Amino acid sequence: MVEGDSLLVPQDIYLKSGIYIGTKFKTRHMEQFIYRTRPDGLSVLNLQKIDERIKQAANLLANYKPEDILIISRRENGWKAVKAFGKVTGAIVFAGRYPPGILTNPRLDTYFEPKIIMVTDAWPDRNAVGDGLKVGIPVIALCHTNNQSNNIDLVVPCNNKGKKSLGVLFWVLANEYMKKRGLIKQNEEISLKLEDFSEE
């Protein structure tokens, strides 16, 4: 598939997590990230492109302080990963129902003004994507082969349904964010282990 040296983590960590496994349905938005379609109809995402987009997401997030970053996961499969990411980086996390109006209604006690949003799935998290668009801040979205990518500034292709896949993605992203912000050295890893982000 790809040379392991050029990836953020050894290739087998990605492969074991199933981060590249797509669905049987693919949208035209996601075709550019698909490596091939298996005989059983499942699309396989390009691992190199996944890794490149994680790097791009880390570079983009590193421009912002943790308290200016909002991470959202409506679906339960991402809760452990996003909570661990928030714990390590200090980013604000909503795991569960996204509260309406928190970005658009200054009269709410819960109102705040993040500078960037990241969602684990563009479809169930579409209200947050819409709010990001309304207030004019960048939106990063994890997208599976069956996602649309309208109104998204940076698409990160991945298996966004799998707990292990999301665990690996947010663990890698947390490491890269902390390095780029100068909070850990280039050869170091964050204090939380991969299993703290992922269901075994």
> Any idea what the CATH number is for the domain that residue 120 is in?
3.40.50.10490
Task: Using the predicted structure, report yes or no on whether residue 2 has a pLDDT greater than 50.
Answer: no
Q: Give the count of domains, the chain.
A: 1
Average pLDDT over residues 138-148: 91
Q: Rounded CA gap, 81 and 196, in Å?
A: 8
Helix, strand and coil content of the chain, in percent to the nearest 5, comes to 40, 15, 45
| Residues 116/137, Cβ–Cβ less than 8 Å | yes
What are the tens digits of pLDDT across the range 31-78? 899 999 889 989 999 999 999 999 999 999 999 999 999 999 999 999
pLDDT number for residue 200 = 62
What are the tens digits of pLDDT across the range 83-135? 999 999 999 999 999 988 999 999 999 899 999 999 999 999 999 999 999 99
* CA neighbor of 93 nearest in space, from 71, 68, 77: 71
Q: Rounded CA gap, 100 and 108, in Å?
A: 10
Domain holding 104, by residue range, is 4-197
pLDDT number for residue 5 = 56
What are the tens digits of pLDDT across the range 11-25? 999 999 999 998 888
Residue 76 CB-half CA count within 13 A: 1
Q: Rounded CA gap, 19 and 46, in Å?
A: 10
pLDDT number for residue 3 = 45
